[in-house]
Amino acid sequence: MMLLMAENVTKTYHLGKARIEVLRDAQLEVAEGESVAIIGASGAGKSTLLHVLGGLDRPDDGSVMVTGNDVYGMSAAKRTRLRATDIGFVFQSYHLMPEMDLLENVVLPAMALPDWLHGAGRARTRARKLLAAVGLGDRARHLPMELSGGEQQRAALARALMNEPRLVLADEPTGNLDDATGNRILDLLLSLTRGERHALVMVTHNRRVAERCDRVLQLTEGGIHPLN
Ligand SMILES: Nc1ncnc2c1ncn2[C@@H]1O[C@H](COP(=O)(O)OP(=O)(O)O)[C@@H](O)[C@H]1O
Ligand SMILES: [Mg+2]
């Protein structure tokens, strides 16, 4: 089954009189068990594409299907629920809650789940495991501002994995990590998303990072193309 299907996705930004056509008829299909890397120049629209795929930014035209659900054909409330249960998003600029410590940040997505109160204890246990897995086991009680960029990036990754989402969308998830840490994080990301029912779409500048995914695609002129 296709876990993610984006068809004819078009997105234009308007800045005063200027039109910036960022995505034009972009197409993407990602199967269960697949990992896909998307590379492209700075400003090519990679972050915009991931936001559209993740239900965060409505396209002007086209459709996005995630786990069989029409992401922009449902109410905002249903879309919020779908994002909480099925989509893990690693933001390029982390977006951690500054007043919450790392443990609270990682637990946060679980609070959006319907059975949150029953699973609160289990959620905290899982959050601690995820923090340990990204090498931040001893930083659970630190605030984001007490961490380096790379550490915040790893905390953001742990948060994205909290609800065991079937689709993980990661925007330059190794962008601020040294090679060794980046490889370890990539191992984690690939191991958690290679399961039968899961998939990963990752945006990266780094060709070596990209080549660890099953497929490498390139975003140019608003469209997604196989890399030659
Ligand atoms: N909210 C916005 N309003 C206007 N222009 C935007 C907005 N977000 C992104 N852009 C523009 O769209 C283009 C693609 O941006 P982005 O998706 O962030 O690229 P990338 O992630 O590949 O560097 C850039 O030219 C950027 O300036
Ligand atoms: Mg970007």
| Percentage above 70 pLDDT, the chain | 100
Around Cβ 129, how many Cβ atoms within 10 Å?
12
- In the DSSP assignment, the letter for residue 108 is G
* Residue 228 pLDDT: 67
CA of 93, nearest ligand number? 2
* Residue 196 pLDDT: 79
Q: Is the distance from CB of 198 to CB of 167 less than 8 angstroms?
A: yes
* Residue 210 pLDDT: 94
Determine the residue of 48, 91, 201, 203 to mutate for testing ligand 1's pocket, defined as the one with the most ligand atoms within 8 A of the Cβ atom. 48
| Beta carbon of 40 within 6 Å of any ligand 1 atom | yes
pLDDT higher than 90, residue 205:
no
Q: What is the mean pLDDT of residues 132-161?
A: 95
Query: How far is ligand 1, taken at its centre, from the CA of residue 96, in Å?
Result: 21
Q: Which two tokens stand for residue 49?
A: 């594409």
- Sequence length of the chain is 228
Closest residue by Cα to atom 6, ligand 1, is 13
Determine the residue of 20, 38, 60 to mutate for testing ligand 1's pocket, defined as the one with the most ligand atoms within 8 A of the Cβ atom. 20
Q: What is the mean pLDDT of residues 126-140?
A: 96
Strands 35-39 and 199-203: parallel
What is the atom index within ligand 1 of the atom nearest the CA of 171?
A: 21
- Which of 51-78 are b and which e, b meaning 16 or more Cβ less than 10 Å from the residue's Cβ? bbbbbbeebeebebbbbeeebbeeeeee
Distance CA 13, CA 124 (A): 40
| Beta carbon of 44 within 6 Å of any ligand 1 atom | yes
What residues contact residue 115 under an 8 Å CB cut-off, 6+ apart?
Answer: none
Q: What is the mean pLDDT of residues 144-171?
A: 95
Q: What is the mean pLDDT of residues 72-96?
A: 95
Query: How far is ligand 2, taken at its centre, from the CA of residue 89, in Å?
Result: 13
* Residue 53 pLDDT: 98
Banded pLDDT at 76 (limits 50, 70, 90): very high
What residues contact residue 194 under an 8 Å CB cut-off, 6+ apart?
Answer: 33, 35, 200
* Residue-range domain boundaries for the chain: 2-226
pTM greater than 0.85 (yes/no)? yes
Query: How far is ligand 1, taken at its centre, from the CA of residue 68, in Å?
Result: 28
Banded pLDDT at 192 (limits 50, 70, 90): confident
Strands 199-203 and 167-171: parallel
Closest residue by Cα to atom 4, ligand 1, is 13
Q: What is the mean pLDDT of residues 204-214?
A: 91
Its CATH architecture, for the domain 2-226, is 3-Layer(aba) Sandwich (3.40)
Distance CA 139, CA 131 (A): 8
pLDDT digits (tens, 9 = 90+) for 36-46: 999 999 999 99
pLDDT digits (tens, 9 = 90+) for 2-12: 999 999 999 99
